[in-house]
Amino acid sequence: MEGLAYLVVMLMMIVILGGPLAILITMIPTRHILLTILKRIVHGFIIAMSLMVGSTFLFNAELPLPVHLIGLFGVAMAYIAIRREYFPEVRIIGPLLSQFGLRRNGSQGNSDSGEQYGPVMKWRRNGRSGGNDGHGPEGQH
């Protein structure tokens, strides 16, 4: 019985920690191709485990509601990690909301600023300034 409890704890930790750990892995900058390949192999393994166990928790009808919610959390975090690593430029929610006249920042209507799907991104993904936003040596006025 003690071994079964350890197995359940390991499965729960795979689902709960797999997605956030994969999201953290996507934040590691890699410039060398071998490091990128290694990073994506580790990322893919973690995501595959999280999706497999999370979808089992989500779609098993015999489990209680909290376990279904943990499975939903695992699948959602795995989706976010996959989008961040492999498809960072794909926009799904923004274009759908713009079809209904909603913008990303909560205001309604279309913007004439040229940005179609929400506010202009001033900061890059790595947290550094783009240099054209008034912050830093290139952008000071």
Report the chain's mean pLDDT, rounded to a whole number: 80
List pLDDT tens digits, range 17-38: 999 999 999 999 889 999 999 9
Task: Work out the widest C-alpha separation in the chain, in whole angstroms.
Answer: 69
This prediction's pTM: 0.64
- Among 90, 93, 80, 92, which Cα is nearest to 25's? 80
Q: Which run of H or E residues covers position 9? A: helix 2-26
Q: With bands split at pLDDT 50, 70 and 90, how would you rate the model's confidence at 96?
A: confident
The whole-angstrom separation of Cα 97 and Cα 87 is: 19
